[in-house]
């Protein structure tokens, strides 16, 4: 104290900074706890497929159609229509759709090779997205 007038400005500033640090640590702890509790990777059983999608997403439609054609059982969670799906999607730290969980493994975006590998590893082989066979070129000496 200076002349009995209370804590010095420096001591008050130090107190405010410690209070601010405490608030920031608390916010970060709450954020991580919520993310840990909502993270769908923790509770997604092996082999279970979850497609995080949006109605307008064309790539989501391609993945959905492939899963349906291949007979892969999956759960679709629209991140724009479901608050729970949106919160789970947020915990994955992805910023777009599609995002596909195969068991605890996350495949972000339209990464067809990674998705095929993950699905095959979970016992769900898919034949979608195979490259089209190269066109056959006619021989130079033959009439077409």
Q: Is the pLDDT of residue 30 over 90?
A: no
**Phi, psi for residue 85 in degrees, rounded to 5:** -65, -40
> Each residue of 68-125: pLDDT tens digit?
999 999 999 999 999 999 999 999 989 899 999 999 999 999 999 999 999 999 999 9
Encode 39-66: b = buried (16+ Cβ within 10 Å), e = exposed. bbeeebeeebbbbbbbeebeebeebbeb
- pLDDT score, position 141: 56
| Cα dihedral: 74, 107, 115, 55 (round 10) | 50
Q: Of 78, 87, 74, 24, which Cα lies nearest the Cα of 44?
A: 74
> Each residue of 99-110: pLDDT tens digit?
999 999 999 999
135 C-beta neighbours (distance < 10 Å), count: 6
- pLDDT score, position 29: 81
- pLDDT score, position 31: 77
Percent of the chain surpassing pLDDT 90: 66
């Amino acid at each position: 104290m200076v002349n009995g007038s209370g804590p010095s400005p420096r001591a008050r500033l130090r107190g405010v900074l410690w209070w601010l640090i405490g608030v920031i640590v608390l916010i970060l702890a709450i954020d991580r706890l919520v993310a840990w509790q909502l993270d769908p990777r923790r509770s997604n059983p092996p082999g279970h497929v979850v497609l995080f999608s949006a109605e307008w997403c064309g790539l989501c439609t391609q993945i959905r159609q492939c899963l349906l054609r291949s007979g892969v059982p999956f759960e679709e969670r629209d991140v724009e229509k479901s608050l729970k799906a949106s919160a789970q999607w947020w915990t994955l730290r992805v910023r777009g759709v599609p995002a596909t969980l195969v068991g605890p493994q996350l495949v972000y975006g339209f990464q067809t090779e990674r998705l095929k590998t993950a699905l095959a590893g979970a016992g769900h082989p898919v034949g979608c997205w195979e490259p089209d066979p190269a066109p056959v070129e006619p021989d130079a000496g033959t009439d077409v």
